[in-house]
Chain A
């Protein structure tokens, strides 16, 4: 049986729940990771991944395979992340609830060198779209054209986002970037 994303989506469109679960098992870990990199915390990343997969389920009957499923799903996740970041700026402190610890856990801390930890922290402080462009380019290994497709913008706009993002990172980290290793 064809178990490509597109074949599974065709089954999901007919209300096939096992096909949806297979699709979710395949993509949820990567989507949580992507959302975590853009949003900076795991709790929000889980919410975004869940929301994205629910959209996959509810919109499956209307889905047209004009783009690869993963590209479409990545676009949904990135847009949900950017929406969430925009909304979060307006949320009152009282509504914000319990603060999420954004520091990496002990295991992650041991595995990550100080330089990489500082870079990660600098990436999290970038403006949203610059961070999204950096994350999609270096985490997902996407070309500028693919990033432009995901962010619904032009290739030259993506180049500008990457240029400004890297300039900001260089300013934040200074000489640390040029160290060997």
Chain B
């Protein structure tokens, strides 16, 4: 490190070591300890920073300015809501007090979905159709003529 690099470092990071990057702090401190000109640069940077902080610390906006802004904010426009706002409002406002019923409804829907997907309802339908066919066959055999004699019941 040389004096020019130190000046650039101090301009970029200030003279307060607590603001320096940890990776460079030791190198800068060692350089300042071993070089009289570096210590002068460090002292100048400290004074410059103090002057900047002092200048910045002066209040530039009075309370009246803030009060005027607050006054102008008394009439507020409508807020911009995201598109999913209204469904959320319905959930929050209309149905929230009835959450047990909503939960029961959701459970019923879930059970119905599972039954539908797993095909549990189909087995019953198939059994019923089989029974019907069997019953029709039985009735037909009752009224069919005897194969050997041709006699009808």
Residues facing A in B42-70 (CB within 8 A) are 44, 47-49, 51-61, 63, 65-66, 68-70
**Cβ contacts under 8 Å, B81 to chain A:** 61
Given A123-B55, A159-B13, check contact A57 B70 (CB 8 Å): no
B-contacting 9-mer, from A2-10, A79-87, A92-100, A130-138: A130-138
Contacts of B82 in A (CB 8 A): 61-62
Q: Does B61 lie within 8 Å of A29, measured CB to CB?
A: yes
In the complex, the answer to whether B70 meets A162 with C-beta atoms within 8 Å is no
- With most chain A CB atoms within 10 A of its CB, the pick from B8, B56, B80, B81 is B56
The residues of A that contact B69 with a CB separation of less than 8 Å are: 24, 28, 32, 46, 49-50, 53
B68 touches A46 (CB 8 A): yes
Q: Cα distance A167–B66 when bound, in Å?
A: 33
A15 within 8 A of B: yes
Look across to chain B and name the residue whose beta carbon is closest to the beta carbon of A136: B56
How far apart are the CA atoms of A84 and B79 in the complex, in Å? 24
**When A24-B70, A163-B8 are in contact, do A57 and B76 touch as well, CB less than 8 Å?**
yes
Contact between A135 and B76 (Cβ–Cβ < 8 Å)?
Answer: no
Contacts A57-B76, A58-B79, A163-B11 known; A33 to B68 CB distance under 8 Å? no
Set A57, A143, A166: member contacting B11, Cβ < 8 A: A166
Interface string of A167-179 (1 = CB under 8 A from B): 1001000000110
Task: Determine if A154 is an interface residue (Cβ-Cβ < 8 Å).
Answer: no
Task: Give A36 to B53 CA distance when docked, in angstroms.
Answer: 16
Size bin of chain B's contact surface: 35 or more
Asked whether B126 is an interface residue with its Cβ less than 8 Å from the other chain, the reply is no
Contact check, A53 vs B14: say whether CB atoms are below 8 A apart: no
The interface residues of chain A lying within 8 Å CB-to-CB of B11 are: 162-163, 166-167
B61 and A32 form a contact (CB under 8 A):
yes
* C-alpha spacing A57/B78, complex, angstroms: 9
User: In the docked arrangement, what's the CA distance between A135 and B55, Å?
Assistant: 10
User: Hey, which chain B residues are within 8 Å of A21, CB to CB?
Assistant: 70, 73
User: Given A116-B54, A166-B48, A177-B51, A58–B77 Cβ distance below 8 Å?
Assistant: yes
How does the 8 Å CB contact mask read for B68-101 relative to A, with 1 for contact and 0 for none? 1110110011111110010000000000000000
Q: Can you name the residue of chain B whose Cβ is closest to the Cβ of A119?
A: B55
Contact of B70 among A25, A35, A58, A167 (CB under 8 A): A25
Interface residues of A (CB under 8 A from B): 15, 17, 20-21, 24-25, 28-29, 32-33, 35-37, 42, 45-46, 49-50, 53-54, 57-62, 108, 111-112, 115-116, 119-120, 123, 134-135, 137-139, 143-144, 159-160, 162-163, 166-167, 170, 177-178, 180
Residues of B within 8 A of A (CB): 8, 11-14, 19, 44, 47-49, 51-61, 63, 65-66, 68-70, 72-73, 76-82, 85
